[in-house]
């Protein structure tokens, strides 16, 4: 297991170390190296020095390294998923699903590396030719969260390397081991030294701020909370660094009265409970039309009560621990406030005794103005709200600063598409609980972010467009 920093092609110690915990029992899994100023500076220098050669390699060369890394991750997926489950707390099946999803970003961007389009045409007045090409932005700082420690890293590293950028990855403090395993794969797949670097700066805020004021850093790709995203946008503005921001969400899930209730419950279970509810895409506000509300809530409560909570690596368990006691306590606090605000608990709602960062599957029924609906929950808690008209459902769904993803369930596709078009979200799922796909553009509107990852757009987050006007 890797536990050091990776700078200029070498695994190195830092200035100090920090423990990584298994949240299912609080035990220490590893001590990881932390980067001080010298290591952060060395990572920038390494990425900067490696850039000229790497950016000139052929797209096919970069593509084949990514393809090899994809195959290695698939071959080693059990070991990597074990690491994900242990440091994150999620169940092994979710971890395995994440690792496959993570590998797919390398496969997708191995294919995209060789397909970057350009343009050559006559200007409207006929006075010149318009040549449009794309060039790598340069040294990119990639900051990732703890909830998908493998996929959030590959979703950034894949397009960056495909585009010809060099990178410095800063994974979340709770889950650095998975990121180290991914970088280890890339090293073995043949990534030249200096092209990929990994640091864990301490203290994180001041160190990242310093890096964002180094003129050699040209691009920031961040996935995490809206709160930290706002801070980083301010930091990046001093040097006008290009930013891609994948931030928080507070997804509504609308279930219309013409839905097949059993299928709707299955989709809500997937949308709410993937990753134990710790997903930016998690359904956090479940709006159900009055005619089917009672039946839906009864079936949904039954499905939630069938979940078995326990250590992520244990067989038969389908709800693991949260990443830390701090995160678990945030979930408990939100539920307590919701109950004080009038929410009724159908199941769950009580913090278990004993070790481990557990919180049970919880269904709440509440009024449309309950405090919990204003917050990203990031845990296995599902507030259900009854609505009457389509317009009311759309207004409730859009009543948030977030705009990452929305879900619509209906037996009438026209009604579902009409609703999807009215929803303020970067992504809408119709009659499905999960739509994330490396081949599709992932991202939000409003305060859920800027830019898109994956799909055809993903590589362009790491490319500058250059226009060359040619006299002919
Ligand atoms: P977070 O607290 O914002 O942290 C994300 C990353 O930022 C971590 O690596 C963290 O490092 C780092 N960080 C924290 N403060 C910083 C600062 N002042 N300067 C620079 N970096 C800083 O988010 P999280 O709790 O890890 O993740 C959950 C959030 O991520 C949720 O809001 C979720 O919706 C969002 N998310 C969004 C997407 C998306 O695609 N839109 C995907 C996944 C998650 P430390 O860990 O060392 O503090």
Question: Within a domain: residue 193?
Answer: yes
DSSP character for 338?
H
Residues 309 and 211 placed together within one structural domain of the fold: no
Question: Within a domain: residue 306?
Answer: yes
Question: Within a domain: residue 442?
Answer: no
Residues 237 and 339 placed together within one structural domain of the fold: no
Q: How far is the CA of 224 from the centre of ligand 1 (A)?
A: 3
Residue nearest to atom 18 of ligand 1 (CA): 205
Q: Which residues pair with 464 in a beta bridge?
A: 135
Q: How far is the CA of 222 from the centre of ligand 1 (A)?
A: 8
Instruction: Collect all residues with Cβ–Cβ distance below 8 Å to 28 and sequence separation of at least 6.
Output: 19, 20, 21, 22
Summarised one tens digit per residue, pLDDT across range 433-466 is: 999 999 999 999 999 999 999 999 999 999 999 9
Q: What is the CATH number of the domain that holds 460?
A: 3.40.605.10
Report the 10 Å Cβ neighbour count for 324.
18
- Please give the distance of CA 268 from its chain centroid, rounded to a whole number: 19
Residues 83 and 187 placed together within one structural domain of the fold: yes
Residues 200 and 296 placed together within one structural domain of the fold: no
Q: Nearest Cα to 250, choosing from 359, 129, 401, 115? A: 401
Asked if 112 and 459 count as a contact pair (C-beta separation under 8 A), the reply is yes
Number of alpha carbons in the 13 Å side-chain half-sphere of residue 472: 14
Number of alpha carbons in the 13 Å side-chain half-sphere of residue 292: 22
Residues 466 and 425 placed together within one structural domain of the fold: no
Q: Which residues of the chain have pLDDT under 70?
A: none
Cα distance between residue 35 and residue 5, in whole Å: 7
Cα distance between residue 348 and residue 306, in whole Å: 12
Question: Within a domain: residue 304?
Answer: yes
* Candidate from 145, 236, 402 with most ligand 1 atoms within 8 A of CB, to mutate: 145
Radius of gyration of the chain (CA): 23
Question: Within a domain: residue 81?
Answer: yes
For the CA of 449, the nearest atom of ligand 1: 41
Q: What is the pLDDT of residue 108?
A: 98
User: Residues of 396-422 as b/e, b for ≥16 C-beta within 10 angstroms?
Assistant: bbbebebbbbbbbbbeeeeebeebbeb
Instruction: Collect all residues with Cβ–Cβ distance below 8 Å to 230 and sequence separation of at least 6.
Output: none
Residues 169 and 237 placed together within one structural domain of the fold: yes
Pairing mode, if any, of strands 167-170 and 196-198?
parallel
Residues 238 and 260 placed together within one structural domain of the fold: no
Residues 261 and 234 placed together within one structural domain of the fold: no
| Residue 316 three-state SS | coil
Residues assigned a catalytic role? 246, 280
Q: How far is the CA of 359 from the centre of ligand 1 (A)?
A: 21
Residues 389 and 458 placed together within one structural domain of the fold: no
Residues 296 and 345 placed together within one structural domain of the fold: yes
Cα distance between residue 286 and residue 266, in whole Å: 13
Residues 206 and 282 placed together within one structural domain of the fold: no
Residues 381 and 292 placed together within one structural domain of the fold: yes
Split into its structural domains, the chain has a count of 2
Q: What is the pLDDT of residue 324?
A: 97
Residue nearest to atom 35 of ligand 1 (CA): 224
* Candidate from 16, 220, 224 with most ligand 1 atoms within 8 A of CB, to mutate: 224
Cα distance between residue 359 and residue 319, in whole Å: 9
Q: What is the CATH number of the domain that holds 351?
A: 3.40.309.10
Which residues line the pocket of ligand 1, CB cutoff 6 A? 143-148, 152, 170, 172-173, 204-205, 208, 223-225, 228, 231-232, 246-249, 280, 376, 404, 444, 449
Question: Within a domain: residue 451?
Answer: yes
Q: What is the pLDDT of residue 354?
A: 84
Question: Within a domain: residue 288?
Answer: yes
Q: How far is the CA of 153 from the centre of ligand 1 (A)?
A: 12
Residues of the domain holding 134: 5-248+447-471
């Amino acid at each position: 297991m890797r536990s050091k920093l990776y700078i200029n092609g070498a695994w190195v110690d830092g200035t100090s170390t920090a423990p990584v915990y298994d949240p299912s029992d609080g035990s220490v899994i590893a001590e990881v190296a932390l980067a001080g100023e010298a290591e952060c500076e060395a990572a920038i220098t390494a990425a900067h020095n490696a850039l000229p050669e790497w950016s000139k390699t052929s797209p096919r060369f970069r593509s084949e390294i990514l393809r090899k890394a994809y195959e290695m991750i698939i071959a080693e997926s059990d070991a990597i998923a074990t690491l994900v489950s242990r440091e994150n707390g999620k169940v092994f099946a979710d971890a395995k699903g994440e690792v496959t999803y993570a590998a797919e970003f390398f496969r997708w961007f191995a294919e995209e590396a060789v397909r970057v389009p350009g343009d050559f045409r006559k200007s409207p007045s006929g006075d010149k030719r318009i040549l449009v090409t794309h060039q790598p932005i340069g040294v990119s700082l990639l900051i990732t969260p703890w909830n998908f420690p493998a996929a959030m890293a590959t979703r950034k590293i894949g397009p960056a390397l495909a585009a010809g950028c060099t990178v410095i990855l800063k994974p979340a403090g709770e889950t650095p081991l998975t990121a180290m395993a991914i970088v280890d794969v890339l090293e073995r797949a043949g990534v030249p030294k200096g092209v990929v670097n990994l640091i864990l700066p301490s203290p994180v805020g001041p160190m990242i701020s310093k890096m964002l004021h180094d003129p050699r850093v040209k691009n920031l790709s961040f996935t995490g909370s809206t709160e930290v995203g706002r801070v980083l946008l301010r930091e990046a503005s001093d040097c006008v660094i290009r930013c891609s921001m994948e931030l928080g969400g507070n997804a509504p899930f609308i279930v219309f009265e013409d839905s097949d209730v059993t299928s709707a419950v299955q989709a809500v279970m997937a949308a709410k409970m993937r990753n134990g509810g710790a997903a930016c895409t998690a359904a956090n506000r479940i709006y159900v039309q009055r005619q089917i509300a009672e039946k839906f809530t009864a079936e949904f409560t039954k499905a939630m009560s069938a979940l078995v909570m326990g250590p992520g690596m244990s067989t038969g368990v389908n709800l693991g621990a949260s990443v830390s006691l701090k995160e678990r306590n945030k979930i408990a606090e939100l539920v307590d406030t919701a109950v004080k605000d009038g929410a009724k608990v159908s199941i769950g709602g009580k913090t278990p005794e004993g070790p481990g960062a557990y919180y049970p599957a919880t269904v709440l029924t509440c009024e449309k103005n309950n405090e919990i609906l204003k917050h990203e929950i990031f845990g296995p808690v599902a507030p259900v709200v009854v609505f009457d008209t389509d317009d009311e459902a759309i207004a409730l769904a859009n009543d948030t600063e977030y705009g990452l993803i929305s879900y619509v369930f209906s037996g009438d596709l026209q009604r579902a598409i009409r609703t999807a078009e009215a929803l303020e979200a970067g992504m809408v799922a119709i009659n499905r609980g999960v739509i994330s796909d490396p081949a599709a553009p992932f991202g939000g509107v409003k305060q859920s972010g800027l830019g898109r990852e994956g799909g055809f757009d993903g590589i362009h987050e790491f490319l500058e467009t250059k226009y060359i006007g040619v006299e002919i």
